[in-house]
Amino acid sequence: MPTIIKGQPTSDVIREKLREEGRTVLVAFSGGKDSIAAELALQEAGVETELAHMYLVPGLKFVEDGLARLEDQLGKRIRRYPHPSLWRWLTEYVFQPPERIGTIEATGVRTYDYAGLWKMVKKDAGLPQDTWVADGVRAADSIVRRASFTRHGLMKFDSRKVSPIADWLKAETLGIIERHGVDLPVDYQWFGRSFDGLDYRFLGPLRDNAPDDYQTILDWFPLAELEILRHEGFPNGD
């Protein structure tokens, strides 16, 4: 039974509204279970979509392999763009040694917020700026998210954001994925969730399961290894 969100229509109604509009919806596609389920739910409702993935670190093979497999299984292209967090990490010198700071400053790299990035994505995809951006956010994930839906709704007209599976439970999310024969990415085996940070939850498993990708992260963020040492200590107990 779906989650009841006080004062809001069901997600079935939301998806039907999107279908009736007859316009392409842009899906914020992390490659995690909720974004996959949102895409499949929109497909079943007869809504045309474009998929946009925002990568945290360029060139990670396990991410690219997962996206390529999902492109095959979903039958459509997944556009790739740098995540706002990537720009923020660089401009805030996250895990950067002192000698790199001058180089980063010299590049003139700037930060982008989500609104600015989605504006660029829509332009790149040839979509109008009032195109809906759909996500896989669900009320069942937390009390805060349920309260947000109650207050702001499942369709946010000012930001053009929509949550087409907002009232789904985890069982419904996994059910539609299984029904369509779509595989979850390897993230769920290694992290128990989709990759979304530079903390030990992700760095430890990557070091153990994908050393080349771990090295790619160190190429971008050389001091990220300190996160490993913080949790595991220095070799020989030093």
- pLDDT tens digits, one per residue of 42-86: 999 999 999 999 999 999 999 999 999 999 999 999 999 999 999
Return phi, psi of residue 52, to 5°.
-130, 120
Domains of the chain, each with CATH number or no CATH: 11-189 (3.40.50.620)
| C-alpha span between 166 and 155 (Å, rounded) | 10
- The pTM assigned to this predicted structure is 0.93
Residue 201 has pLDDT above 90, yes or no: yes
Provide the pLDDT for residue 94.
97
Residue 1 has pLDDT above 80, yes or no: no
Residue 3 has pLDDT above 60, yes or no: yes
Find out whether 50 and 127 touch, Cβ atoms under 8 Å. yes
Residue 237 has pLDDT above 60, yes or no: no
Burial of 28 (0-12, 13-18, 19+ CB in 10 A): buried
Give the pLDDT band (50/70/90) at residue 233. confident
Higher-confidence position of 78 and 4? 78
67-88 burial string, b = 16+ CB within 10 Å, else e? beebeeebebebbebebbbbbe
Provide the pLDDT for residue 118.
95
204-227 burial string, b = 16+ CB within 10 Å, else e? bbbbeebeebbebbeebbeebeeb
153-169 burial string, b = 16+ CB within 10 Å, else e? bbbeeeebbbbbbbbbe
Tens of pLDDT, residue by residue over 126-172, are: 999 999 999 999 999 999 999 999 999 999 999 999 999 999 999 99
Provide the pLDDT for residue 235.
65
| C-alpha span between 98 and 2 (Å, rounded) | 51
Provide the pLDDT for residue 203.
98
- Judged by average pLDDT, the poorest of 25-29, 112-116, 149-153, 163-167 is 112-116
Find out whether 70 and 41 touch, Cβ atoms under 8 Å. no
Residue 238 has pLDDT above 80, yes or no: no
